[in-house]
Amino acid sequence: IPGMAYLVRRLLENTSNESWLKAGFLDNADTATLLADPSSKHRGQLPVDLYEIAPHRHNLSPSFPEVGDSKPFYTEPMRDFAEQDQREAFGRAVESASVPSVANDHTPEQGLDMIAKANNAFPAWRDFDPIKRAEVLTRVASKMRSRRDELSAIVSKEARKIWPEADADVCEAIDFCEYYARHAVQLFTRTRLGKFIGELDELWYQPKGVAVVISPWNFPLAICCGMTVAALVTGNTVVLKPAEQTPGIAKVMHDMILEALHEVNAPSDVIHFCPAPGETTGAALVRDPKISLIAFTGSKAVGLDIIAAAGVTHEDQPMVKRVICEMGGKNAVIVDASADLDEAVLGVRYSAFGFQGQKCSACSRCIVVDPQGPDGPNMKLFLKRLSESTKTLILGASTDPNADVSPVIDEEAATNIRKYIQTARDEGLTELVGEQDFAIPEGMPDLIAPHIFTGVNESHTIYRQE
C-alpha cells in the first residue's frame, strides 16, 4: 500500500517519548530545547564510545574478568564511508599500504618439518592456561583494531575487494578473535554431570593436537583468522597454509599472532606459516599422520580430496583426523508473491554481485514465485526492477572508492566466468543484463560486468554448476 509507510512514520513520530509534540505540550520544554539539533547530543561519538555507557543488556557471549574488557562480545562496527573523516582516512591508508611480497615456495619437506615442530610444541600449549590462550586472541584483536585501515587496504589491493568489502573482512577477523576468546575459556572448565553416590562424572574438552589450516582467498583475513585462532585458543598448534592468491595479508596476521604469543610468554613453535602450492605441499600436509585436525575452506574438488585423504588412518597415527570442510554452493534466493520488492531487489543484487559473486554464500539463482507463471506481473516487475538496479552499479578498480564491482581474483577466474557466460548464450538463454549495459574501464582484463539471464531451468548448465 503506497501510503502505509508514511502513515507508520507519522504514528511513530507523534507517539514517541522523544517527540516534539510531547516535549512541547506535555514537558513544557523551552524554545531552545525544541529547536535544538537532535543529533548534537551524540555527535562525534562512535558506536564503540556509545557502547561504553550503554546498559549491558546483550548476551552474545559469556564474559570473564580476565578476558578482554571483561564485557560480553559485541561486533566491530564497520566504517561509515559517508563520513568524510573516515573516507579520507581510509583513502590515505589505501594510498600508502603495500602488499607484503610472499612467495608460495615452501616444499612438502618444509611443510612436514613444520608439522613435526608443531607436534613437539603441542603438550606445552595444551597445558597452557586457557585464560592466557584467550588473551592471545584479544591482543591480536587489539593489534588489528589499531591497524584496521591498513589491513583493509592490503585486503583491497591483494584480494581486489572494494572498500566496504575489505573493511568488513577485517571487522569479521576482529570479531572472530573477540568472540572465540570469550567462548573458549568455559570449554576447559570441568562441569559435573549429575550427583550419584560413589561417582564423580565430569565433562570437559581437550585439545586434539596439530591442526592444518588451509584458508581461502575470498575472505583472506576473516576466514583465515577465524580458523586459525579457533584452533589456537582451544589448545591446538597450527600449520597455516594460506590461499596462493592472498598470502600477503595472511603473513601480516601470522606476524600479529606471533607477537601476541610472545607477549604472554607462550611456548615456541605454536604456529607455523607455510605459503605453498596446494597440489604438492598442501596435499602432503593433510596426509601427514601427525595431523589431528584439518580446517579447510575452498573448492568442492579439493575439499572432497581432503576428506578422502583424512579417511586413511595409519598405524602410527595417534587419532582419527577430524575435518572441518567448507566448500562452495549453488545458492538460490526465493522471492515469493508477498515479498517487499524494495528489499528483495537490493538483497538479490548485493548477494549476486557483492565481491563479484565470489562468495560461497553468493546468490547465483533467483527463483521468483508468481501464481500466474513466468509471464505473470510479479515476475515481470521484479525482473525489470532488478535489471535496472543492477545497471546502476559502477565498475572500477577495488581501490576506487566509487566502485561497486571490481576485477575478479585472477585471470583463471575471469576465463572460467566468461566460459559460463558464453555457455548460457549458446544454450539460448535471454540475457537481460550484460557488458553492453556498463561503462567498463580500460586496462582491467579481469573486470567482468554483472550478467543476468532468464528462462533458466534444470537442463541449463548455469543452473547446476557453480
Range of the domain at 49: 4-53
Is there a catalytic annotation at residue 326?
Answer: yes
Catalytic annotation, pick one of 244, 325, 326, 431: 326
Same domain, 429 and 391: yes
Same domain, 310 and 220: yes
Taking alpha carbons only, the member of 278, 259, 286, 281 closest to residue 270 is: 259
- What is the average pLDDT across 324-347? 93
Same domain, 149 and 125: yes
- Mean pLDDT taken over the chain: 91
Residue type, 287: R
Q: Is residue 295 part of a domain?
A: yes
Q: Is residue 64 part of a domain?
A: no
Residue type, 161: K
Grid cell in block for residue 343: 528489499
Confidence tier at 26 by pLDDT (50, 70, 90): low
Better-scored residue on pLDDT, 271 or 361: 271
Same domain, 377 and 294: no
Task: Please state the pTM of the whole predicted model.
Answer: 0.85
Residue count (the chain): 466
Same domain, 240 and 353: no
Same domain, 48 and 88: no
Better-scored residue on pLDDT, 8 or 267: 267
Q: What percentage of the chain carries pLDDT values higher than 90? A: 77
Residue 233's contacts (CB-CB under 8 Å, 6 or more residues apart) are 133, 134, 136, 137, 180, 181, 184
Catalytic annotation, pick one of 76, 109, 177, 360: 360
- pLDDT for residue 167: 98
Separation of alpha carbons 141 and 259, rounded Å: 12
DSSP code string of 286-311: HH-TTEEEEEEES-HHHHHHHHHHHT
Same domain, 400 and 429: yes
Grid cell in block for residue 275: 605459503
- What is the average pLDDT across 257-274? 97
Is there a catalytic annotation at residue 279?
Answer: no
- pLDDT for residue 50: 53
Grid cell in block for residue 368: 521468483
Per the structure, the count of domains in the chain is 3
Same domain, 376 and 313: no
Q: Is the pLDDT of residue 49 over 70?
A: no
Q: Is residue 211 part of a domain?
A: yes
Same domain, 197 and 302: yes
Q: Is the pLDDT of residue 55 over 50?
A: no
Same domain, 203 and 131: yes
Q: Is residue 307 part of a domain?
A: yes
